[in-house]
Amino acid sequence: MAALAYTGGKREINYYFSVRSAKVLALGAVLLLTACHAASRRYRGADTCEYLLSSGRFLGEKVWQPHSCMMHKYKNSEAKNCLVDKHVVFIGDSRIRQLFYAFIKLINPQVKEEGNKHGNIPFEDKSASIKVDFLWYPEVNGSMRQRIKSWTEWSIKIHNGSNEALAQYKINITSVAPLLEKLAKTSDVYWVLQDPVYEDMLSESRKMITNEKIDAYNEAAVRILNSSSRNSKAKVKVFSVSKLIAQETIMKSTDGLHLPESSRDTNAMILMNVYCNKIMKPIDGSCCQPQPPLTLIQKLAFCFFTLSIIGYLIISLIHRNNYRKSKSCTDLESGEEKKPAISTPNVSTLEILLHSFCKLGLIMTYFYLCDRANLFMKENKFYTHSSFFIPIVYILVLGVFYTENTKETKVLNREQTDEWKGWMQLVILIYHISGASTFLPVYMHIRVLVAAYLFQTGYGHFSYFWIKGDFGVYRVCQVLFRLNFLVVVLCIVMDRPYQFYYFVPLVTVWFMIIYATLAIWPQIVQKKANGKIIFFIYFLLMLLPCLFLQGAFEKIFSFWPLSMCFELNGNVYEWWFRWKLDRYVVFHGMLFAFIYLALQKRQMISEGKGDPLFSNRVSNVLLFISVLSFLAYSIWASSCKNKTECNELHPSVSVVQILAFILIRNIPGYVRSVYSSFFAWFGKISLELFICQYHIWLAADTKGILVLIPGYPMFNVLVSTFIFVCVAHEISQITNDLAQIVVPKDNSTLLKRLLCVAGFFSGLHLFSAMQDQSRH
């Protein structure tokens, strides 16, 4: 009865919620959210600098999250590059002096807080020609006015918190404001509002400083400053975010007046972001960054997709009109209308092609709006254990709920490998959005999942070539197209290098190595295996030194045209780093496939439904060893203290947990006979999910999180995830449709297409060179 209800529940869900209806709902959500964000930007303004200076919240205790944008954490080298030949001045009291010290420590962390506390303090970095000065002016008065005028904060305590002092403060601010606004026309001027105090901790000599009086002074400053300015670019920028930060952290103050060091550092980092983001343009610093201009290649891509949409609409309208005319026919003798047999209009190859590019163009527009235009909001990641492990439990429950019987019970059958890819991909997605890379044990286990993908690459491609012996160009082109189509489009639309999407170059190169290893004479396949295995082993041994030594590796991939694909930021270091992390696991996958197929051919394993893979005794021993190995790796990974050292060991030991998982999953007959259709569904689009997450689920090229619905983090993740999965599934279908057209089976036609592809990439290289020249 329970099983019947379980099956009935799944059918009910699938009946009322199909993939097609989900995509329609996702499209509606995208259109609605786009309209809402566009209206919000028009009404509230699109200047993220205003948000950075005035609003935000704490993620945890120390991570400040500005409203709607991401804040970059500047290193001292970046700060120096930004401020080279600049002169920065801080004017004010002891709290501004603290901000001054926090700021110069971003330039030189070795600076100590020394000198006259009630006097001017100079700082100079001669290597970068940077000057930063602090000028002691605890109140706004004539002396401050003269100082500012020569360039063409105040203290409640000094005046004992009197109302007369507030009135005089307003007069002084009024006299200083025009000079500040004049200075703001040629320089960046920031007025830091006074932070609240923790009144219970104030000493007797400071008891007259109350938050009520501070608010009165701040309101006067905000009202008077910029009152005469009509030019938004000349405005004195009010630094009010420090007040929000102080409200959260002033309780940790040592004297009730001065902020704790972490809060001062946050304020200094905000100042650095306000000024430097537009100069340095960091990927993870979206605050104060203007939208990047469209490149020549992006403009051409926009024109291509626009023409595809127009062409598809014209052809579909013509076909629809012709179909309607032939749909109904009238019986002239009886005068009755005949209905012909149910049929659909003939869909031409051109229409399928244009339809695919039409959908792809709309999807790429969404990609661009999410991660290049300043339409949707972005936020920094913040890791907590609950943000990673609770979603893992959720997907595990869903995966178990959708358990079904497999069509075949072979080791690593198609349904099982799809399931494996699916749950691994979901775990990797949760890992990325939660920022779990900061937690080393999770990082090391995720590295095993990436290695397992590459293990499957070696296992799957070796098995295909070994069994079928199909080394035709058609097979190679189909695989390369399916792996690389989306990435090539994203490189064009999102203006990113090929190596940026590192996993696709990785599996592409490994596929070509596997192909070359088996296809080169004397073509090592199952039918010709007699006496050729020695050659196979010799070839691998010959290949290893060339590929795994860093010097040789960098020389190979630094040659043109390989350098065009594998360089990132002018070198191939990132490519080498990604390669060496899993440099053995593909060969482990090939070796496992060879051993498994040899055992299968000699009938040394039992793959019947419900049967253990080996005899009961052998199966139990292997299961015990596998469980111990699996746990041993997890214990080692959880005890890692240094990421660099663990990464060095990872290539050699990752296969332990992979093989342990395979044996645990396949030795028991019952376990091998079932699979999770939920995980398998995601496994079929795992590549698209991995690539699409860069721009329409995460943000700032995976550095942050896309915010479609601000203020509701959980709801935002649900909505953005729903749209993201629908888009990935649609792209998978588009790729499959285009693969049938672009990669035909006829060799002569395929050769012509390959020449067209070569011409396309030559043109792309030419336009890219023109772009680089115009940038420099």
Using the predicted structure, report yes or no on whether residue 346 has a pLDDT greater than 80. no
Using the predicted structure, report yes or no on whether residue 305 has a pLDDT greater than 90. yes
- Determine the pLDDT at residue 338: 43
Q: Per-residue pLDDT averaged across 99-122, rounded?
A: 88
List Cα–Cα distances, 751 to 259, 352, 467, 515, 738, in angstroms.
70, 22, 26, 19, 17
Q: At what angle do helices 713-742 and 349-371 cross, to 10 degrees?
A: 150
Report how far residue 473's alpha carbon sits from residue 750's, in angstroms, rounded to the nearest whole number.
9
- Determine the pLDDT at residue 340: 45
Give me the DSSP letters along 51-74.
Answer: HHHH-EEEETTTEEEETTS-----
pLDDT digits (tens, 9 = 90+) for 20-49: 999 999 999 999 999 999 998 888 777 788
Token code pair at residue 544: 């290893």
Report how far residue 281's alpha carbon sits from residue 514's, in angstroms, rounded to the nearest whole number.
40
Token code pair at residue 186: 């040629």
The structure tokens 């397992």 sit at 452
Residues 6+ apart with CB under 8 A from 90: 96, 97, 99, 100, 103, 132, 133, 134, 135
Highest mean pLDDT pick, 218-222, 417-421, 574-578: 417-421
Q: How confident is the model at residue 181 (pLDDT cuts 50, 70, 90)?
A: confident
Residues 6+ apart with CB under 8 A from 752: none
Residue whose C-alpha is closest to residue 134's, from 150, 153, 149, 109: 153
- Determine the pLDDT at residue 559: 83
Peptide bond into 138 cis (omega under 30): no
- Determine the pLDDT at residue 661: 96
Amino acid making up residue 617: R
**Considering the entire predicted model, what is its pTM?**
0.89
Q: How confident is the model at residue 511 (pLDDT cuts 50, 70, 90)?
A: very high
- Determine the pLDDT at residue 742: 92
Report how far residue 506's alpha carbon sits from residue 85's, in angstroms, rounded to the nearest whole number.
43
Three-point CA angle 597, 598, 602, nearest 5°: 115
- Determine the pLDDT at residue 139: 74
Give the number of C-alpha atoms closer than 13 A to the C-alpha of residue 53, restricted to the C-beta side.
Answer: 17
Burial of 203 (0-12, 13-18, 19+ CB in 10 A): exposed
Q: How confident is the model at residue 773 (pLDDT cuts 50, 70, 90)?
A: confident
Least confident piece of the model among 165-174, 372-381, 636-645, 705-714: 165-174
- Determine the pLDDT at residue 640: 86
Alpha helices by DSSP H, listed for 602-746, are 616-638, 643-666, 669-672, 677-683, 686-696, 713-742
Residue whose C-alpha is closest to residue 517's, from 536, 542, 541: 536
Q: Per-residue pLDDT averaged across 575-592, rounded?
A: 90
- Determine the pLDDT at residue 589: 92
Contact 376, 365 (CB under 8 A): no
- Determine the pLDDT at residue 101: 94
Residues 6+ apart with CB under 8 A from 385: 439
Token code pair at residue 392: 């893992």
- Determine the pLDDT at residue 607: 84
Q: Per-residue pLDDT averaged across 211-225, rounded?
A: 89
Residue whose C-alpha is closest to residue 725's, from 684, 682, 694, 683: 682
- Determine the pLDDT at residue 776: 61
pLDDT digits (tens, 9 = 90+) for 51-74: 899 999 998 888 899 988 999 999
Report the helix count and the strand count for the chain, using DSSP H and E. Answer: 29, 14
pLDDT digits (tens, 9 = 90+) for 355-381: 999 999 999 999 999 988 888 999 999
Using the predicted structure, report yes or no on whether residue 8 has a pLDDT greater than 90. no
Catalytic positions, please? Answer: 94, 255, 258
Amino acid making up residue 308: S
Q: Per-residue pLDDT averaged across 653-679, rounded?
A: 94
689-721 exposure pattern, b = at least 16 Cβ within 10 A, e = fewer: bbbbbbbbbbbbebbbbbbbbeeeeeebbebbe
- Calculate the average pLDDT of the chain: 86
Amino acid making up residue 188: D
Q: Are β-strands 337-338 and 329-330 bridged in parallel, bridged antiparallel, or unpaired?
A: antiparallel
Report how far residue 632's alpha carbon sits from residue 636's, in angstroms, rounded to the nearest whole number.
6
Give me the DSSP letters along 123-147.
Answer: EEETTTTEEEEEEE-SS-SHHHHHH
Alpha helices by DSSP H, listed for 435-520, are 440-468, 473-493, 503-519
Contact 198, 253 (CB under 8 A): yes
Report how far residue 348's alpha carbon sits from residue 55's, in angstroms, rounded to the nearest whole number.
55
Token code pair at residue 178: 């025009």
